[in-house]
Structure 1
Amino acid sequence: MNILIGLLCLIWGFNWVFMKLANGVFPPVLFAGYRFALGALVLLVVCYFRKVPLPRGKDMFWYIICGILQTMYFNLAIQLSLVDLSAGLTSVLTYSMPLWLTLMAHYWLPGEQLKLRKLVGIVVGIIGLFIAMDAHFGGTTGAMLLALSSGLSWAISNLIIKRKLARCDMLQFTTWQMVFGAVGLLLYSFIFEHGTSHWGLMPVVYVGFAGVIGSALAFVMWSYILSKVEASKASISLLLVPVVGVISGCLVLHESLTGFMVVGIALVLLGIWLVNGKSQAAAPAGKLGA
């Protein structure tokens, strides 16, 4: 499972490069709509050939809710926050998701009680992420709250997956929540955005990678991981995503790598270790239960 989580972080982290490049040729929300529409189309084709049945009525309700929270609102909040905030600060506020999910899991997910080591690990990881992104407190309070709400909406969606949809077909769930989310993004762009798209070979590559790899494949992987792994441990591992994004930006876009970024990355790794590592007190209990 650790290998799968690592691969997911690499995909989503490198996808930041394509998202940054795509901002120069597409209106931002429209690009997100294109991305998830392509991802949904690919998954619908896969579902057809694998003979995945249509969702049941009671599941469809939750699919729509998750599509709104995880795909539509999550991406809208990020794109609109970037108008007034730096990419680094937006990333930090968005990836506060593990903290919200861990707090909610303590109350609503059996067996996922909040422990001091886990809380310290998440806080250390988020502080490290803040340093690694070299973020600054700029922009309006409204924009910061909007970015923060993107992480909260993602956390609520993940909580729904764990509580209501853990036994569902994850391919079916990912497909239909992405369909509803893509429709919402495209409708928003049609009504509120006024920019133009500049198509060419590279813009097609941006949409293709972000849609097929960064959306269809990655969200199927994430849904599967979340259904199998403790919510807090799965989510804290995603702090590696913006770290991979920073490193990818340095390698591909020739962005600078500062000492603060290196220190921040080390703190992110420490936070992940604190959450996922077994405490000394827990080790003997594990041996006794074996």
Structure 2
Amino acid sequence: MNKWLFSMLVILTTFLMGSSFAIGKIGLSYTTPLLLVGIRFSLAGVIMAIAVRLLRIPHPKAFFQWIKIAVIGSFQTAGVMSCIFLSLRTISAGQSSILTFMNPLLVVIFGTIFMKLSYSLRQWTGVILGFIGVFITLGAKLSFEIGSILAYLSAVSWAIGTLLIKKWGNEFNTWVLTAYQMLFGGIILLMGSLILENPYFRITGTSISIVLWLAIMASIVQFAGWFYLLQKGDPGKTSAFLFLAPFFGVLSGWLILDETINWYVTIGGLCIFTGIFLVNWTSSRKMEAGSLETSLNK
């Protein structure tokens, strides 16, 4: 692939990943958190499901395969997005994005414990450095705000979703899996909104634009662009650029929401970015689990 095209697509997709935190926080002025992400992913899932049907891409036939997709969606979409958008009520978009994108570090830990996967010394160094960065980002104190805990839980849910995709993903076409896990996740989020919230949606030009941006640009376009990069380039090395997403999360929070970037957030963020880079940087002959979560990134 042309280096300029590769660079532009990397910047575009990671910008869409990171900036969705700030744009989502603006959206919370018009609706409740679970309803916002429920609408976002139900809409994105419906659009993609129609597309894969029209393209006649093979769909699962066994009932338990659909159950597996629903389980993936419950972690990869519902769990991750509910925790992110609930966290945005009490912490900054930048801090939420930094904590959420530590998921590659958790993949190494969970993969070792539950799936007996093996990782290199470099990757474990990245994990240790990343967790040091988390400690610094939180102000070098152990008393977490509820928003910080929720953002961390979003990373946990994302890591679980990643490992489930590693375990079951070969049974499905990637586009079909993406479409329906988003749709199932969106439906779960809408049900959660009805049960756990007093949902409302204030219809304005801005609120509609935010939903469309999150559903189309920050979900469908972002995923399509990133998956294209993984297909055309070295998947392991391409995934190393995931560290740009929390960078854009912090930057967009500063530019769009006028959020203050504290010195310890900057230092902690740099540690986490470096840790993510070390975890994801793999050779073309051996793409390890740390890079897989990006294939279904929102």
Normalised by the length of structure 1, the TM-score is 0.78
In 1, the alpha carbon distance for the partners of 2:174 and 2:282 equals 29
Structure 1 residues 224 and 278: alpha-carbon distance in aligned structure 2, compared to 1, 3 A threshold: closer
Which residue, 195, 201, 204 being the options, matches 2:205? 201
Contact 2:107–2:163 under 8 Å retained in 1: yes
* Residue 255 of structure 1: aligned partner: 259
In 2, the alpha carbon distance for the partners of 1:113 and 1:265 equals 26
Shift of 1:159: 0.9
Larger radius of gyration: 1
In 2, the alpha carbon distance for the partners of 1:9 and 1:126 equals 22
Structure 1 residues 246 and 11: alpha-carbon distance in aligned structure 2, compared to 1, 3 A threshold: same
* Residue 43 of structure 1: aligned partner: 48
Shift of 1:219: 3.9
Contact 1:107–1:113 under 8 Å retained in 2: no
* Residue 285 of structure 1: aligned partner: none
Contact 2:243–2:277 under 8 Å retained in 1: no
Which residue, 168, 191, 195 being the options, matches 2:195? 191
Q: Any residues of structure 2 matched to 1:139-288 within 5 Å, and which?
A: 139=145, 146-166=150-170, 168-220=172-224, 229=235, 234=239, 237-276=241-280
Structure 1 residues 163 and 215: alpha-carbon distance in aligned structure 2, compared to 1, 3 A threshold: same
In 1, the alpha carbon distance for the partners of 2:38 and 2:140 equals 27
Secondary structure class of the residue paired with 2:23 = helix
Q: Unpaired segments of 5 or more residues in structure 1?
A: 280-290
Contact 1:132–1:262 under 8 Å retained in 2: yes
In 2, the alpha carbon distance for the partners of 1:221 and 1:163 equals 24
Give the root-mean-square deviation of aligned CA atoms: 3.4
* Residue 84 of structure 2: aligned partner: 78
Structure 1 residues 31 and 278: alpha-carbon distance in aligned structure 2, compared to 1, 3 A threshold: closer
What count of residue pairs does the alignment treat as equivalent?
274
Structure 1 residues 208 and 82: alpha-carbon distance in aligned structure 2, compared to 1, 3 A threshold: closer
Which residue, 48, 54, 58 being the options, matches 2:59? 54
Contact 1:16–1:245 under 8 Å retained in 2: yes
Moved more, 58-67 or 80-89: 80-89
Structure 1 residues 219 and 59: alpha-carbon distance in aligned structure 2, compared to 1, 3 A threshold: farther
Partner deviation per Cα, 1:32-85 (whole Å, 9 max, x = no partner):
011101111220232133122332314322111101111112222334445566
Structure 1 residues 163 and 42: alpha-carbon distance in aligned structure 2, compared to 1, 3 A threshold: same
* Residue 122 of structure 2: aligned partner: 117
In 1, the alpha carbon distance for the partners of 2:213 and 2:115 equals 34
Shift of 1:139: 3.0
Secondary structure class of the residue paired with 2:122 = helix
Shift of 1:271: 2.4
Partner AA of 1:156 in structure 2: I
% same residue: 29
Moved more, 62-71 or 256-265: 256-265
Secondary structure class of the residue paired with 1:46 = helix
In 1, the alpha carbon distance for the partners of 2:46 and 2:140 equals 36
* Residue 75 of structure 2: aligned partner: 69
Q: Structure 1 residue 97 and structure 2 residue 103: aligned? A: yes
Contact 2:241–2:277 under 8 Å retained in 1: no
In 1, the alpha carbon distance for the partners of 2:55 and 2:24 equals 30
Structure 1 residues 195 and 184: alpha-carbon distance in aligned structure 2, compared to 1, 3 A threshold: closer
Structure 1 residues 75 and 43: alpha-carbon distance in aligned structure 2, compared to 1, 3 A threshold: same
Normalised by the length of structure 2, the TM-score is 0.76
* Residue 286 of structure 1: aligned partner: none
Q: Unpaired segments of 5 or more residues in structure 2?
A: 284-298
In 2, the alpha carbon distance for the partners of 1:277 and 1:267 equals 15
Q: Structure 1 residue 11 and structure 2 residue 16: aligned? A: yes
Shift of 1:23: 0.8
Partner AA of 1:209 in structure 2: W
In 1, the alpha carbon distance for the partners of 2:101 and 2:282 equals 23
